[in-house]
Amino acid sequence: MLQKHFTEQTAIFLSVLKWVFLSSVVGVIIGSVVTLFLNILEYSENSRSLLPFNYYYLLPFALVLTVWLVKTFAPTAEGHGTEKVISAVHKADGKIDVSVIPVKLLATVLSIFAGASVGKEGPGAQIGAGVASALSELFKFSKQDRKKLVICGISAGFATVFGTPIAGAIFGVEVLIIGVILYDVLLPSFIAGFAAFTTAQFLGIKYTYYNLHFYQNISLDMMLIVKVVLAALFFGFISDIVISSVSLTSKYIQKIKVSTYIKAFAGGMLIVILTLIFGEEYIGLGLGTISNTINPDPLYAVDIHWYTFILKTLFTSLSLGAGGSGGIITPIFYIGATSGHTFGALFSPEHIVLFSALGFVSVLSATTNTPIASTIMAVELFGIDIAHYAALGAVISFLISGHRSIFSSQILAMKKSEMLSIKIGEEVENINAELEDDKISKINKLKDRLQIKRQILKNRKRIKKD
């Protein structure tokens, strides 16, 4: 008995030691590579002022070049990054083509420089996962270890981009399967995320945090709780609209029977025209607008209209559908924060900053099906005082958005309502939800039809005999 206990503890100790070492090394490497990506991206954005014309005039040409780069050198680098990584984990044991790393980096920098409404976190996660996969191949790791290491790469990439190591780690293990957290990857994900975040800070990356405690009273209040519940319902519906908009726009553009390059150029031209009509605040990363919604000074929010989140959804859907390379989560932050600002302005002006922050994390939770990571991110970004409201908003919006996701390769492992009949284990894009009663009704109707057919056959046989 004692020998078995000793054997068990020794095996666990060696396993922990192995993954502490591996995830630390991988985290430092990914932190360095993603820091390089962030620095190049920042340099490119700062270089816009050197152009003798508005930078977004280059968008049609940048989208064509981006499409060519991806199609020619790394087709798996297409889209918003995280989706391809999830697919690789589920379908290829985490194997990712190493060419994704430089191609995704360059394509994303081109897209964001020219004004595409995309983010930097998806490429960060895909670059991180690509580095982890390449290292696994280099050192001949097993399929199981490679898969674990790639998930660590997702966590490290997110932690580096967002500056939220705990939320980044949880996101990496929560985003793959809806309703399941991969506990066997929890330790290496935490370590990889923290190592990557620390490395990025050491290399000079600065992060922005907003501690709401210093300028807003958000103590427990029953009336405020009711408003938070209503806001969470609102954020759930907004998330559903975002998911549908991005998906349907992409499908519609794919159906157009012309060259991909023509579609990219035309999509870029349309975004340029919309920018000339509505303004520049809807293109690019939009970090300034996000910051303004969470600033207590009302002067910073003068350009935030009630329809801002709708236009950002449109610009993002067109940018990704036309071939832009980049993430989806930064636009989701923008849409969440501005929709929260709209809700706060209408129903609770004294807590407008709080609702902007809640929208920031709740729309993330609902569109990506990551309520735990989103709640932790709220605490890391906005302070502990928001925790209970953030948890309430994240979970309710997650449920209200239904069995849908901005990442169609997510695997469903739970039902969001016992009243629905759902096939567990399917990818989200293949889910067909229907009421349990409807299913029973269909079975009964089928039985009735079969009985009728049998009766008709019997009658025919009798007629023949007669």
Give tens-digit pLDDT for 175-209. Answer: 999 988 888 899 999 999 999 999 999 999 988 88
pLDDT classification of 85: cutoffs 50, 70, 90? confident
Ramachandran region, residue 184 (left: φ > 0; alpha: ψ -120 to 50; beta: rest): alpha
Residue 293 structural domain: 212-412
pLDDT tier, 162 (very low <50, low <70, confident <90, very high otherwise): confident
pLDDT for residue 250: 92
Q: Does residue 431 fall inside a structural domain?
A: no
* pLDDT surpasses 90 at 303: no
Q: Same domain for 363 and 325?
A: yes
Q: Which residue has the higher pLDDT, 271 or 297?
A: 271
- Note the pLDDT of residue 439: 54
Residue 175: both structure tokens together: 């985003």
Among 106-120, 154-168, 208-222, 423-437, the least confident range:
208-222
Q: Per-residue pLDDT averaged across 330-358, rounded?
A: 94
pLDDT value at residue 88: 85
Residue 2 lies in a domain: no
C-alpha pair distances (Å), 100 with each of 77, 150, 206, 262: 5, 14, 26, 24
b/e 363-396 (16+ beta carbons within 10 angstroms → b): bbbbbbbbbbbbbbbbbbbbbebbeebbbbbbbb
pLDDT band at 83 (very low <50, low <70, confident <90, very high): confident
> Could you say which DSSP state residue 395 is in?
H
What would the mean pLDDT of 387-400 be, rounded to a whole number?
95
Query: Cβ distance 327 to 34 under 8 Å?
Result: no
Establish if 428 belongs to a structural domain.
Answer: no
Indicate if 229 and 352 belong to the same structural domain.
Answer: yes
Query: Do 327 and 455 share a domain, yes or no?
Result: no
Pair (262, 384) in one structural domain: yes
Residues 322 and 353 both lie in one domain: yes
Please state the domain count of the chain. Answer: 3
Percentage of the chain beyond pLDDT 70 is 88
What is the rounded average pLDDT of the residues 416-439? 75
Between 76 and 169, name the one with better pLDDT. 169
pLDDT at 463 over 70: no
Per-residue pLDDT band at 214 (split at 50, 70, 90): very low
Domain membership of residue 4 (yes or no) is no
Confidence at residue 121, expressed as pLDDT on a 0 to 100 scale: 86
CB neighbours (10 Å) of residue 47?
11
Segment 5-58, tens digit of pLDDT: 788 888 899 999 999 999 999 999 999 999 999 999 999 999 999 999 999 999
Same domain, 316 and 169: no
Q: Is 432 inside any structural domain?
A: no
- Class of residue 305 by CB neighbours under 10 A (exposed 0-12, middle 13-18, buried 19+): middle
Q: What is the mean pLDDT of residues 203-225?
A: 76
Q: What is the DSSP string of 302-339?
A: TT--TTHHHHHHHHHHHHHHTT--SBSHHHHHHHHHHH
Q: Is 451 part of any domain?
A: yes
Phi/psi region, residue 115 (left: phi>0; alpha: psi -120 to 50; beta: rest), is left
| DSSP helix/strand/coil, 79 | coil
Same domain, 134 and 275: no
Whether residue 301 sits in one domain with residue 371: yes
Q: Which two tokens stand for residue 56?
A: 């977004």
Q: Is there a single domain that holds both residue 378 and residue 397?
A: yes
In this structure, the answer to whether residues 268 and 363 fall within a common structural domain is yes
Are 84 and 77 within 8 A, CB to CB? yes
Q: Within this chain, do residues 373 and 251 fall inside the same structural domain, yes or no?
A: yes
| 443 inside domain | yes
Residue 248 has pLDDT above 90, yes or no: yes
Cβ 328 vs Cβ 117: under 8 Å: no
Q: Which two tokens stand for residue 112?
A: 């964001």
pLDDT at 320 over 80: yes
DSSP string for residues in 9-27? HHHHHHHHHHHHHHHHHHH
CA distance 67 to 121: 19
Arithmetic mean of pLDDT, 286-293:
90
pTM score of the predicted model: 0.90
For every residue of 414-456, DSSP letters joined together read: S-S-TTEE--TTSBGGG---EEHHHHHHHHHHHHHHHHHHHHH
Q: How confident is the model at residue 156 (pLDDT cuts 50, 70, 90)?
A: very high
Indicate if 262 and 331 belong to the same structural domain.
Answer: yes
CATH of the domain at 388: 1.10.3080.10
